[in-house]
Amino acid sequence: MKKEKIYEFAIDRRLTPARRKAIEKHIDQNAHLSPKPVTYNWDEDDDGVLHIAADPMLIEIRFQDKTVELYGAAPLWARLLFTAKRKSELKEQIEAVLHETKFIKG
């Protein structure tokens, strides 16, 4: 599966240990909403990279100083189901999490 960039979000604040815990808490509290089990881990070599897996999708989130980049990899059949409406919903959900975890002011 090829990894491709899906979104990039501008942020006001960078990743900190407190924001990392807030992200983990958000994932833990919402994983039950996925029809498939959700697992996640922080990259061993780059602590600003979060890996999330919910079969068949693999997501990589890269926290930079001023941006958050979202990458995804999935088989072709799953990508075909990722409609414009679902992409829009995903974008809204991620923006909500970035506000909730205080990466974006206001």
Q: Does residue 106 sit within a domain?
A: no
Could you tell me the pTM of the whole model?
A: 0.88
When mean pLDDT is compared across 12-16, 20-24, 68-72, 79-83, the lowest value belongs to 79-83
pLDDT confidence of residue 68: 97
Q: Does residue 13 sit within a domain?
A: yes
Number of domains into which the chain is organized: 1
Give tens-digit pLDDT for 76-91.
888 888 888 888 888 8
Domain that holds residue 36: 4-101
SS3 helix, strand, coil % of the chain, rounded to 5?
Answer: 35, 30, 35
Contact call for residues 3 and 72 (beta carbons, < 8 A): yes
- CATH for 24: 3.30.310
Task: Give the Cβ contact number of residue 51 at 10 Å.
Answer: 14
Give tens-digit pLDDT for 31-71.
888 888 999 999 999 999 999 999 999 999 999 999 999 99
At 10, list the tokens: 């501008």
Q: Does residue 42 sit within a domain?
A: yes
pLDDT confidence of residue 70: 95
Task: Give the Cβ contact number of residue 5 at 10 Å.
Answer: 11
